[in-house]
């Protein structure tokens, strides 16, 4: 359930402040950790989809040959493995920066935004490559695709992470 909360004329004593800061900033600080985890999780979903699409297209035959032997299918597989490799390296680099306390919120935004985006595109492509079977729950591509549609929105939408990166590189916020 996602809910719209509204508060009117609410007054609280100072003792109700969240500990360790002047307010909400402390609580929202956990988001960088959650988004870092999502950046890696999205890579895992993309790898699962790629693996299924590769196995499927090597086993499904047309005109006596596996569909993996056709150039259009190989182009899709090559694009998937290319994007997965870049996302893995992005996450690895972010992890190394995190160890040095240099994983700034904008860097975490970049990884979350990119990795969820490519994982979603890979899931959509994988669903397509399985044909009608891509719509069945017998295979996992459809499940990953639906989940990644939600992940694109939660923990900061793709748009909002774009604006965070835009602000980081220009110094000018464009949120509203």
Ligand X SMILES: Cc1cc2nc3c(=O)[nH]c(=O)nc-3n(C[C@H](O)[C@H](O)[C@H](O)COP(=O)(O)OP(=O)(O)OC[C@H]3O[C@@H](n4cnc5c(N)ncnc54)[C@H](O)[C@@H]3O)c2cc1C
**Shortest Cβ distance from residue 172 to ligand X (Å)?**
14
Residues whose CB is less than 8 angstroms from the CB of residue 50 and which lie 6 or more positions away in sequence, other chains included: 77, 80, 81, 84, 122, 126
| Residue 62 or 157 having the CB closest to ligand X | 157
| Residue 78 or 146 having the CB closest to ligand X | 146
Question: What does 18-75 look like in DSSP terms, one character per residue?
Answer: PTTSSSHHHHHTHHHHHHHHHHHHHHHHHHHHHHHHHHHHHH-EETTEEGGGSHHHHH
The catalytically annotated residue of 99, 121, 149, 155 is 155
CB atoms within 10 A of CB 74: 13
**Shortest Cβ distance from residue 169 to ligand X (Å)?**
17
Q: Per-residue x/- marks for ligand X, 1-20, CB under 6 A?
A: -x------------------
Scanning residues 132 to 161, which ones bind ligand X (CB under 6 A)?
150, 153-154, 157, 159-160
Whether 155 is catalytic: yes
Taken in order 29, 34, 35, 36, the sign of the CA dihedral is positive
> Would you please indicate which residues are annotated as catalytic (active-site) residues?
155
Residues near ligand X (CB under 6 A): 2, 150, 153-154, 157, 159-160, 175-176
């Amino acid at each position: 359930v996602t809910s719209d909360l509204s508060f009117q004329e609410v007054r609280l004593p100072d003792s109700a402040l969240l500990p360790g800061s002047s307010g909400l900033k402390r609580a929202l600080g956990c988001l960088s950790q959650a988004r870092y985890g999502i950046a890696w999780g999205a890579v895992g979903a993309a790898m699962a989809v790629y693996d299924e699409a590769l196995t499927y297209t090597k086993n499904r035959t047309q005109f006596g040959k596996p569909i993996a032997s056709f150039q259009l299918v190989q182009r899709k597989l090559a694009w998937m493995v290319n994007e997965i490799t870049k996302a893995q390296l992005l996450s690895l680099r972010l992890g190394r920066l995190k160890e040095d306390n240099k994983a700034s919120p904008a860097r975490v935004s970049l990884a979350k935004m990119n990795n969820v985006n490519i994982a979603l595109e890979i899931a959509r492509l994988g669903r397509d490559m399985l044909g009608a079977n891509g719509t069945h729950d017998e295979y996992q591509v459809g499940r990953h695709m639906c989940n990644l549609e939600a992940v694109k929105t939660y923990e900061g939408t793709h748009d909002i992470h774009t604006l965070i990166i835009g602000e980081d590189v220009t110094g000018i916020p464009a949120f509203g």
